[in-house]
Amino acid sequence: EIVMTQSPATLSVSPGESATLSCRASQSVSNNLAWYQQKPGQAPRLLIYGASTRATGIPARFSGSGSGTEFTLIISSLQSEDFAVYYCQQYNNWPLTFGGGTKVEIK
């Protein structure tokens, strides 16, 4: 099983600043990596797939990069609605696995 490790667990950021979230895979997943956003009491929402392709309707301030084992999600100029938990997911191998999440909170 591929283990996905996200860091940091919590990120404190002021509105208007940028946030950089990391996701590391225990073995290469090529670019088969997705990012999701989850707000309290809501289902997750797909943000990014293919490591860097934004899903439909996702603002340009969300950008993903990386390949192999190291991936990054950057949220530029954080808006109030961006404070949430973010998960990465690899879909290169079975079983499909998620990272433990990064909570982006207001500083």
Q: Which residues bind other proteins (CB under 8 A)?
A: 1, 32, 34, 36, 38, 42-46, 49, 55, 87, 89, 91-92, 94-101
Cα-based distances in Å from 42 to 37, 58, 84, 94? 10, 17, 10, 26
* Contact in structure between 45 and 57 (CB atoms under 8 Å): no
User: Between 69 and 89, whose beta carbon lies closer to other proteins?
Assistant: 89
Q: Are 83 and 16 in contact (CB under 8 A)?
A: no
Minimum Å gap between C-beta 38 and other proteins is 8
User: Minimum CB separation from other proteins for residue 51, in Å?
Assistant: 11
